Amino acid sequence: MCGGGGGQPAPNDPFEQAQAQILIEQERARIQAQQLAAQLGRDATKAETDRVTFDRNIGQAFEGALSRGSDVISERGLNLDEFLPGLTSALEATRRSVPFLDPNPGAFFGEGIADTVLNRAQDTQRRGFRNELDEFAAPGFARTLFPGTADDSILQSILNEQFQPASDAILRAFQRGNLTDQGFQTSNNQLDSQRDAGLARLQDIGGGVLGDFRNELNEVAGTGFGRANTFELGGNFDPSSTRSLIDSTFADQSGNLSGAVRNALGGEQLFNIEDIITRGGIAQGAQNATPALFDAFDKRNKEREKQRGLGSEGVF
């Protein structure tokens, strides 16, 4: 029997179902792609906006710092053209250190950048001056100019000047018969002993003079190093002026070395001729002494007393 509409629905075709599902997935992928593209577009726009904003902000910060730094240089009376390259270089380094897209790049450009640049330039200049001074005034330079042997010939000359009269006096005493062979030998031995003592005395005096000369040279160099260490940008200092002063001081000292040693010695006698001959007379024995020896001593004593106002005319 036939009934209207009461039959079984036609079974779904698996192929058609698969095709439909594919279409659904394709549509979903298309929508997602559109959404992703839109998001990427928005992200790119935002990134570009952020970049432009960052570049603008960091550029403004750079220019502001450059302007402030230029003012600092000018306010200190310095040549802007001389120090602007260093300031610009420091600001460029600061700009490179700012993290990309940092919201506040101006915070990296502090107020003290120009001062830092100038202080570094000043330290560099001071170091350069010290290096130049070290080339001719390094520690110990004064001793190099005036070594311990610098006065040797002068000391020897002074020693010989005083030695020869003493030696001649001994010889005259011997020739007059005031000294025997034994007394003559003893006096000469005493002369040699006093010569050694005299040389030691001269070396002490010469060492003192050389020490004073070295101190004077060190003071000149110290003044130069002091000016180098306290040099201020915009000031004037030329290490060669210190070198010229050291050279002229050294030349003056060298020319005056002999005079300075002699002045330090004064009228000091290195040889006691009377003592030398007396010791020779004692050594040879009173029995061997000649009347002339005692006459010479008596005459010398009378002359000394007369010089003190105790001669025969003053004794009553």
* Residues 211-240: tens digit of each pLDDT: 999 999 999 999 999 999 999 999 999 999
Q: CA 238 to CA 128: how far, in whole Å?
A: 11
Q: CA 276 to CA 167: how far, in whole Å?
A: 10
Is the entire prediction scored with pTM above 0.75? no
Task: Note the pLDDT tens digit of each residue in 124-148.
Answer: 999 999 999 999 999 999 999 999 9
For residue 50, give the amino acid letter: D
- Residue 156 binned pLDDT confidence (cut-offs 50, 70, 90): very high
Is pLDDT at 287 greater than 60 in this prediction? no
Rounded to 5°, the CA angle 261-267-271 comes to: 95
* Percent of the chain's residues with pLDDT above 90: 74
Q: CA 95 to CA 62: how far, in whole Å?
A: 7
The arithmetic mean of pLDDT across residues 62-84, rounded, is 95
Contact 83, 73 (CB under 8 A): yes
- The pLDDT of residue 299 is 53
The arithmetic mean of pLDDT across residues 294-316, rounded, is 45
Q: Which two tokens stand for residue 214?
A: 């070295």
Regarding predicted confidence, which is higher, 72 or 3?
Answer: 72
The arithmetic mean of pLDDT across residues 60-80, rounded, is 95
The set of residues, in sequence order, having a beta carbon less than 8 Å from that of 196 and lying 6+ positions away, is none
- The pLDDT of residue 12 is 72
Q: CA 136 to CA 131: how far, in whole Å?
A: 9
Select from 158, 161, 139 the least CA-distant residue to 260. Answer: 158
Q: Where are the beta strands (DSSP E) in 82-205?
A: none
Query: What's the whole-number average pLDDT of the chain?
Result: 89
Q: CA 27 to CA 176: how far, in whole Å?
A: 148
- The pLDDT of residue 119 is 96
Regarding predicted confidence, which is higher, 13 or 215?
Answer: 215
The arithmetic mean of pLDDT across residues 284-303, rounded, is 53
Is pLDDT at 2 greater than 50 in this prediction? no
The arithmetic mean of pLDDT across residues 22-43, rounded, is 88
